Structure 1
Amino acid sequence: MRRQGWVSLGAGLVCALWGFFAADAAVPVPKTVGKKVYVHLMPWFETRATSGNGAWGIHWTMDNQNPDVVDGSGRRQIASYYYPLIGPYGSGDRDVIEYQLLLMKYSGVDGVLIDWPGTLNAWDYPKNRANTEAVIAQTAAVGLDFAVVYEDHNAKLAYDAGFITDKLAAGRNDMAYLRDRYFNQSNYIRVNSAPLLLVFGPQTFQSAGDWTNVFSPLSQKPTFLTLWYESGEAGANAKGEFAWIYPDFTTGLTHFYNNQPSPLKFGSVYPGFRSFYAAGGWGGPTWEIAHNGLNSFNQTLDLAKNAGSINHLQLNTWNDYGEGTMIEPTREFGYGFLTSLQQKLGVPYSQSELELINTLYQQRKQYAGDGNKQAQLNQAASALFNLDVNGARNILNGGGGGSGVSVTNGGFESGLSGWTTWTPNGTAGAAFTETYNGGHASANHLTHWSGAPFETWTYQTVSGLASGSYKVRAWVRKGGTFALSRLQVKTCGSCSPVFTALGTYGDWTLVETPAISVTGGFLEFGFHTQATTGSTANFIHMDDVSLVKL
């Protein structure tokens, strides 16, 4: 959403780039589809912790939403019908950026096209630019290229509001900044031997003369693409066009691919369109394109992938929650868009690697103040950059040096297969699997819940283990009051367990048992819950159980 009524963060806001540890050149992900695949990223999200002014950013709030309001499942009130799997985030958060770029890489994406506000010191533009540069700072280490999509409309908005008196001068300043800061980077995307530049429009500079003036600081003009059917407003400066999202869905895309006589065309791949603008008190389009699960995404992906006139695909978008066009993992769609992308691009990875990247992110946050642990996580990240998935998994599952042991249906995607539920009072029905509010890393999770008193013990056993010390880990959300709620493990059915009592967790939280010594090769582990009073507010969600040998 491009909107005039931005919240002012003040001029001259400075945000330093996050530092990043040194790494060897990352290994590219192989795939069978040769077309370049880029993803459009919005850098404009802020939390209270990242905004610089203690407020939630307007793209989470619009005019009437309050992310400080949290429901019983831990879901914050945000300006979207969809919810990030990791919750609302700040776009400049280093851990978020690492998570997002790694997900892109393992889904077959070649580079990121960042929605760029320009250099004006107005409203939240400086913060969005700082977030852009925080993303750029990590792209090379991960092994992704980058370019920008220029928001020339911002010059008109700033001019109309009295921030500037010369729109063309603002445009020239933006080009000089791109020349000196972005175009000269080794992983900036180049097409036809020139730096790639897209414009979301044009909306301010709408003549060939305007763009010749704006590009005058550049010794080499960029490979410049406008929105579809808008290249006439840039004259010979435009080298092509890129498709976007429109109510006529595949009809419009097919016409553009087959009939628009542009020398360079970027295809548009998107999952659907359902904006929150009316509900959030903003102006903007209210038409919809149904997601139909993954079907709309797959249709637009197949269309662009198979179009002979298209050699570059733009995924629209990674994270525009206000318009419902996000393909990053959400509670509603899980990893579905990314796993579909993996399959259709011929990438030799699956949801398992995407979930591992989520585990890296969660541990970054859980151990935020632990320098030794962060050093281990740096090693895991470096392993992922270089496609050493097993090395990363050993670090993440073992806390550094440990190794994972197979757990049957640890993510509950096959219901309760592999698990047994015991009860002393006939209330085994309080243990079940469901998709309510989404699982930790995919759709399903285990739930212990009932409106009446209950006691359940959902567990599985494993035998043939090597002697040594083990821990059980799981992701948990919990609300309400229980007489007993714990993750536990024991070495025989009648043995006393070691356990961790579960606290109240508004969002998915990684929990682990104390270490237990195994000498007989057997463990029984799972979740034991007792509610002595009936209340629909009492719930525990459990997911992604792992067993780790230390």
Structure 2
Amino acid sequence: MMFMVVVLIASGASGNRFNDEAPQVHVFYYLWYAAKDGKYIHWDHSVLPHWDTRVREKYRDMENKRYNPPEELHSVYYPLLGPYSSADEKTVDQHFAWMKQYEIDAAVLSWTGRQVLSDTQGVKTDDVFPFAIAAAQRYNIKIAVHLEPYHGRSPKSIKEDIRYLKERYGDSLIYKNGLPLIYIYDAYHSSSEEWHQLLCHDGNATIRNDPTTDVYALATILERNELFHLAECFDGIYTYFATDGFTFGATSENWAYLKQFAHQKNKILSISLGPGYNDTKIRPWNSIATRDRRQGAYFQAQLNKAIAADPDIISITSFNEWGEGTQIEPAQPYPHHLPGYDFLLKEEKDHQEAVSNNDPFLYLELLRKAKRSWKEQRRRLFLRTNLRDEV
């Protein structure tokens, strides 16, 4: 059984206050890319083995293969900016300029722990956090934190993480009910009792009512039963996955139910969705999770369903998770002279759909139009409600 958590950490600045009435669009933003002196990190991600030995055997010849950027990436798509570094200020600035242009409210920054820690590919995201935060401040984009399951993560370490994040980055984060906003991924790594001790007011190690550690927390819901025990002391829920049907939370047919549950329990709801999904270059055995983009039709349908459910937040998976093919960051056709192009011809016949008839900004534009439509829907509902109250 899997379970994840989002913690909302917000800054004290009035400009970073979370507006309960206005529709909010957040994007999951990844900081684990490196490209320096011919060395590429994460773009060269290794092929992952399957946990079932019978399935694993079918892909044994690909196991642990590493890709060779810039000629061949770990993604079936190719960035418009090429394989870049998350420490490159010009690149990060361009990302946040696009977010501002296309009316995205907040970037949820992937964080793999304090400075001594790194992810499985050797990336220390805390080192490059300042680049993203500086760009966000330039373009008035709010920031939340997506806390990754780093080695040794526990509710106890998370309490210290929160204290560290608030002290170091607090002025750049987003507030909800006066508290900061952090997303915590893969909470199922800890027991519900451990989360109770950390997040419930009567917990022995509670973060509550302590200005150095208290947060507004959302839990990622994978299965329905998690709503009733693991989510007990969280302040809200989110769904994360871009593959419709992958989990209970990620199944669009369940979003109306999640909205009703969140409303009844006085919790915030963030519905996550994406433009498609394809991770077959790093998980060749996972084609069952693939969702074709269909020239933007999949994304548009998911946006429409989320707007109909009318959550507090729509969170986009993702801005730039290239390995799982969920990015809305502009792409270009895979260069024909590169080895990666041959792979796409065999395995991903729609390899150019990310640029959608040579429009690399299609997915950003679809998101902007959807947000405006959602905002108009919310405005009309507000007017109808007030008119009814006056009558």
* TM-score normalized by the length of structure 1: 0.49
Match of 1:193 in 2: 178
Cα contact 2:236–2:269 (8 A) shared by 1: yes
Residue type at the aligned position of 1:292:
R
Match of 1:364 in 2: none
Contact 2:235-2:268 within 8 A present in 1 as well: yes
Change (3 A) 1:193 1:158: closer
Does structure 2 conserve the Cα–Cα contact (< 8 Å) formed by 1:253 and 1:268? Answer: no
* Amino acid paired to 2:197: G
Matches within 5 A, 1:382-531: none
Is 1:204 matched with 2:180?
no
| Distance (whole Å) between structure 2 residues aligned to residue 233 and residue 126 of structure 1 | 34
How big is the shift at 1:128?
1.3
1:335 aligns with 2:361: yes
Task: State how far apart, in whole Å, the 1-side matches of 2:92 and 2:371 are.
Answer: 23
Matched, 1:112 2:107: yes
Matched, 1:344 2:360: no
Unaligned runs of 5+ in 1: 1-26, 70-75, 160-166, 348-550
Query: Which residue of structure 1 aligns with residue 292 of structure 2?
Result: 290
Cα pair distance change 1:126/1:88, threshold 3 Å? closer
More deviation in 241-250 or 200-209?
A: 241-250
Other-structure match for 2:12: none
> Does residue 181 of the first structure (1) align with residue 168 of the second (2)?
yes
Deviation at 1:94, TM superposition (A): 0.3
Q: Deviations over 1:18-43 (max 9, x none)?
A: xxxxxxxxx99xxxx94011111011
1:57 matched to 2:62: no
In 2, the alpha carbon distance for the partners of 1:172 and 1:282 equals: 37
User: 1:173 is matched by which residue type in structure 2?
Assistant: E
C-alpha contact (below 8 Å) 2:156/2:198 kept by paired residues: no
Using the alignment, how far apart are the partners of 2:155 and 2:85 within structure 1? 32
SS state at 1:148 partner: strand
SS at match of 2:189: coil
> What's the counterpart of residue 326 of structure 1?
327
Q: Which residue of 2 aligns with 1:222?
A: 215
For residue 87 of structure 2, the aligned residue among 92, 104, 116 is 92
2:298 aligned counterpart, secondary structure: helix
Q: Measure how far apart 1:345 and its partner are.
A: 2.7
Where structure 2 has 5 or more consecutive residues not aligned to the other structure, the ranges are 1-14, 47-63, 333-353, 374-391
Q: Give the C-alpha shift of residue 206 in structure 1.
A: 2.6
CA distance 1:251–1:221, shift in 2 (3 Å): closer
CA distance 1:282–1:118, shift in 2 (3 Å):
farther
Rg (Cα) greater in structure: 1
> Which residue does the alignment assign to 2:57?
none
Determine the structure 2 residue equivalent to 1:421: none
Query: Which residue number in structure 2 is paired with residue 256 of structure 1?
Result: 255
- Structure 2 equivalent of residue 317 of structure 1: 318
Contact 2:79 2:330 in 1 (8 A): yes
Q: Where does residue 81 of structure 1 map in the other structure?
A: 76
Among residues 25, 29, 35, which one is paired with 1:47 in the alignment?
35
Residue 102 of structure 1 deviates from its aligned partner by 0.6
Aligned residue pairs total 293
CA change 1:238–1:297 in 2 (3 A) is same
Which structure shows the bigger proportion of residues in helix conformation?
2
Q: Is 1:147 matched with 2:144?
A: yes
Corresponding residue for residue 410 of structure 1: none
Q: Greater share of strand residues, 1 or 2?
A: 1
Q: Deviations over 1:137-195 (max 9, x none)?
A: 221111111011112x21xx347xxxxxxx4542232121122112x30x411122221
Q: What secondary structure is seen at the aligned counterpart in 1 of 2:181? A: strand
* Structure 1 residue 59: Cα displacement: 4.1
> CA offset at residue 251 of structure 1?
8.0
Deviation at 1:311, TM superposition (A): 2.1
Amino acid at match of 2:134: A
RMSD: 3.1
1:318 alignment partner AA: F
Partner Cα distance (1:217, 1:97) in 2 = 35
**Following the alignment from structure 1 to structure 2, what is the Cα–Cα distance between the partners of residues 251 and 243?**
5
Note closer, same or farther for the CA distance 1:321–1:130 as it changes in structure 2 (3 Å cut): same
- Specify the code of the residue in structure 2 equivalent to 1:80: S
Q: Which amino acid aligns with 1:298?
A: Q
Q: In the aligned structure 2, how far is the partner of 1:42 from the partner of 1:233?
A: 30
Per the TM alignment, residue 237 of structure 1 is displaced from its structure 2 partner at its CA by: 3.1
Q: State how far apart, in whole Å, the 2-side matches of 1:45 and 1:284 are.
A: 23
SS for the counterpart of 1:294 is helix
Aligned partner of residue 37 in structure 1, secondary structure? strand
What's the CA shift string for 1:187-207, capped at 9, x where partnerless? 411122221222113133332
Residue equivalent to 2:129: 132
Query: TM-score by structure 2 length?
Result: 0.67
Q: Could you say what secondary structure the match of 1:261 adopts?
A: helix
Indicate how the Cα distance of structure 1 residues 93 and 217 shifts in structure 2: closer, same or farther if over 3 A, else same: farther
C-alpha distance in structure 2 between counterparts of 1:234 and 1:316, whole Å:
23
Partner of 2:238: 242
Shift of 1:56: 1.5
CA shift digits 1:480-537 (9 cap, x unpaired): xxxxxxxxxxxxxxxxxxxxxxxxxxxxxxxxxxxxxxxxxxxxxxxxxxxxxxxxxx
Asked whether the 8 Å contact 2:255–2:306 carries over to 1, the reply is: no
